[in-house]
Structure 1
Amino acid sequence: MTGTLFKDATIVTMDPALGDFPAADLLVEDGRIAAIGREIPAEGREVVDCRGRILIPGLVNAHMHTWQTALRAVASNWTLLEYFRHVHRGLATLFRPEDIHIATLAGGWNQINCGTTTLGDWCHNNPTPEHTDAAVDALFESGIRAVFLHGSPKPDPKPGQPHFSEVPHPRGEVERLLRGRLADRGGRVTLALAILGPHYSTLDVSMHDFRLAREFGLVASMHQGGGEARTPGGWDVLESSDLVGRGINIVHGHGLPAEQLDRFADLGVSFSVTPENEMTQGHGFPITGAVRRAGGTLSLGVDLESVLSGDMFTVARMALGMQRALDNDESRRSTGSIPETSTITTREALGWITIDGARALGIDDRTGSLTPGKQADLVLLRADDLNMWPVHDPVSSVVMQAGLANVDSVMVGGRFLKRHGRLLAGDIENRKQELAESGRRIVAEIRLREQTG
């Protein structure tokens, strides 16, 4: 039997040249999407009956700190300032390589279970190469497609040590990773850099890190916002040095003036907004509308499972609803009435968690839409479930009504990782116990340290 034929599905491709199909077939061969159309021959192929199902591209979670999976809900009541203090200067310092591994593995599995096929894993708790390797190994083991964004820890410095903002990104680690398991630039797990940027580092460090990313042709992602900038005016210097452009990804993005956002969008900078966490922790209102007005590439992420859930359907609804509310409020203030029509469509919101997420991570040539020739990263949703049926507008049904309960099957690179509602991963129960033990130990040790310190 060669290939898998998804038959009689409602297909939302997110490819503007292809559009959508109310009832069509999609053929997967050799890990890629081979064809979409009607009456594709089924002989010699596994046939998946998709009547009552919606087939969409696999979701893209462009920004998540997956290493925090064992700390689920620990930080749910903390502001950003409390998070910095309790997590980066406390809990993070107690992680062993095995803690990073189980958190990343379980976090990757959960993303698959929720319909995400591509994860931007922003790993900034890797004080040793062993921690880094544990995270990378877990991503491979999980089966998810991932961009591993290699970062650096943020503890308080010990006597005689520099502050993390003064430490350049380690060239040796980048070279080591590119010689090893992340050598394949087109592989399922690839490398990018999670750098500090001018908001969290000195200008010298920022210049070094931006140049390092450009030298190796890697996406460079950095947080922007959350208090005063370490280097005021740093973006201006980087821009004048011709270091800001395609391949630069700004997370959150608060504090950037409109004219700078316009320039960055024109230069090809992408943005990753994490709406629910930004509103929860005190970053400010998500800059969704500002990026849209600038014409920039907008992607979305979960950010922190130590605060909230890992469900990208929820993230998309949160971003859409929040920005519509802001737009409606602006209209009321300026005209005295609500807008004549919605300012953002559900299709655009679905793009934020599919093709635009892939663009932000630099892998839209291989995933993000159901385009023949791309990797077969896709999700099959049970649209005849009670919470979704009847379906009048498939895109709106996906964005506004779908969730984990509707995710029937998930495929990454032509391989089923979830089927008939069941995650196809080995030894899940034992791994869950391992995850719980890791989280309990870390939390207990930090409490003991606080009591005795």
Structure 2
Amino acid sequence: MKRVLLRGAQVITMAAHRPDAELVDVLVEDDQIAAIGEGLGETGAEVVDVTGRIVMPGLVNAHLHTWQTALLGVGANWTLADYLGRMHGAVARHYRPEDMRIGTLAGALSQLDRGTTTLGDWCHNTPTSEHTDAAVEGLRASGIRGVFLHGTPYSAADLAHPVSEVDRLLDGRTGTHALLTFGMAVRGPQLSTPDVAVTDFRAAAERGVVVSTHQSGGAPGPGWEAVRDAGLLSPGTNVVHGAGLTDEWIRTLVDAGASITCTPENELGQGHGSPVTGELLRLGAAPSLGTDTDAVAPGDVLSAARIALAHQRGRDHDHHRRETGAFSLTATITAKQALAWATVEGARALGLDGHVGRLEAGLQADLLVIDSAPRLVPTHDPIAVALYSTPGDIEAVMVAGQWRKRDHALVDVDLEAVRARLWESADHLLPRLADWR
């Protein structure tokens, strides 16, 4: 049995029954958290002194297209129409299996470096089994905890999801891994006929996997009514963006236990619509968070949390000003709520609640250590320091009891080889942007 004892840090557990932050030890045994408390014994444990640091649950990026990593930043000025035309209309069809592998690997490593321990990898460029397997291999090789959401290239609205590929993944024919689970990334009710939407949602329900779908840029169509009427909305349903959904529809999803993942920087910048944070909060629910695509927006989940928080606070101030003539005198949302969106809510959206998202005995040992850099001192409020930290402040990252980052550097990875292959992929893909019309 491998034992690691983290000692001396302010610990944010995100557990409902514990204080916001506390000076306690964290004992890890193999891949699980064994105990959290004061003065834990160190018999047989490697003692790691984290005095002055903050230890908290690993972040959860619930929605990212890692296959697009080689095109980092090329879409910084793209609208949603640009993205759909250039990425999916022009470049996607030129991807080779190796481009899928290296993009996924590099994207997942980038997430680990930023403190993300669980990734919802929404992979919708899998024209062949070879492309799928290459993407899965990249995710597996990174060492991140991944939920691989199998999607397909954009196609006819009456074409059902290829469930044989999903079954192949679930049967382990691509190789099993303790950190990897699978779900379905379907075109969904907005982009499919009602019959196909029902067929795809039912296929996910029969297999007991998360089904995730985009919804933005317009009002929900008849496919949503068909899925609802078939009784297929459930806690296994994940809606990305949610922009365009009416208050009634959001209530329907919340009542069914479904989750909504907001990608605030991407949504505001590209034209998806405003994040539906406030609409969820009014119903006693909350969003999970994603960063969508490195081609368009930074992949930092804490930045997404801060943007979502500031955007909704601004909306609330505006509403209060219209009602009373002055801004609100009290904060409508707390920093801890925003931190929960990037941890607890992300785990729930990906079907991993009870495994990750909090630090509790019996849960997986997925955590990060925030440095005690001068810019983070004095630590009057550990929750605020955690929320407002940057990727450069992430000193260490652990996934399932294994260090994936120590002393501000990723471990057990040949970064030079990854960079070289990623540049080769970029050199192949970037010229294809000219094919867009």
CA RMSD in angstroms comes to: 1.5
Candidates 308, 325, 337, aligned match of 2:326:
337
Structure-to-structure mapping, 1:28-177, within 5 angstroms: 28-154=28-154, 163-177=155-169
1:221 aligned partner? 212
Q: Figure out how many residues of one structure are paired with residues of the other and give that number.
A: 437
Deviation larger for 280-289 or 294-303:
294-303
Deviation larger for 95-104 or 258-267:
258-267
Is 1:393 aligned to residue 381 of structure 2? yes
Deviation at 1:373, TM superposition (A): 0.3
Distance 1:70 1:304 in 2: 11
Deviation at 1:227, TM superposition (A): 4.2
Deviation at 1:347, TM superposition (A): 0.4
Distance 2:119 2:34 in 1: 24
The 3-state SS of whatever aligns with 2:85 is: helix
Distance 1:151 1:67 in 2: 12
1:371 aligned partner? 360
1:424-446 Cα offsets, whole Å, 9 max, x none, are 13221121011011012111244
2:195 aligned partner? 204
Instruction: Tell me if the contact between 1:182 and 1:189 (Cα under 8 Å) persists in the aligned partners.
Output: no
Candidates 417, 426, 431, aligned match of 1:439:
426
Deviation larger for 413-422 or 290-299:
290-299
1:158 aligned partner? none
Distance 1:445 1:239 in 2: 40
1:324-359 Cα offsets, whole Å, 9 max, x none, are 111111110111111121000000000000011000
Distance 2:17 2:165 in 1: 41
Candidates 412, 416, 427, aligned match of 2:414:
427
Distance 2:302 2:318 in 1: 24
The 3-state SS of whatever aligns with 2:199 is: helix
Distance 1:182 1:35 in 2: 35
Distance 1:406 1:308 in 2: 20
Seen in structure 2, the aligned counterparts of structure 1 residues 199 and 275 have a Cα distance that, compared at 3 Å, is: same
1:242 aligned partner? 231
1:376-420 Cα offsets, whole Å, 9 max, x none, are 0000001x2122111111001111x20111101000000000001
Instruction: Tell me if the contact between 2:111 and 2:117 (Cα under 8 Å) persists in the aligned partners.
Output: yes
Deviation at 1:135, TM superposition (A): 0.8
Deviating beyond 4 angstroms after TM superposition, the runs of 4 or more aligned structure 1 residues are 181-184
Deviation at 1:313, TM superposition (A): 1.3
Q: Percent of pairs identical after alignment?
A: 46
Deviation at 1:164, TM superposition (A): 2.9
The 3-state SS of whatever aligns with 2:368 is: strand
Instruction: Tell me if the contact between 2:28 and 2:35 (Cα under 8 Å) persists in the aligned partners.
Output: yes
Candidates 360, 366, 376, aligned match of 2:349:
360
Instruction: Tell me if the contact between 1:182 and 1:190 (Cα under 8 Å) persists in the aligned partners.
Output: no
2:398 aligned partner? 411
Q: What is the TM-score normalised by the length of structure 1?
A: 0.94
Distance 1:263 1:25 in 2: 42
Distance 2:348 2:175 in 1: 21
2:370 aligned partner? 381
Amino acid at match of 1:429: E
Amino acid at match of 2:171: R
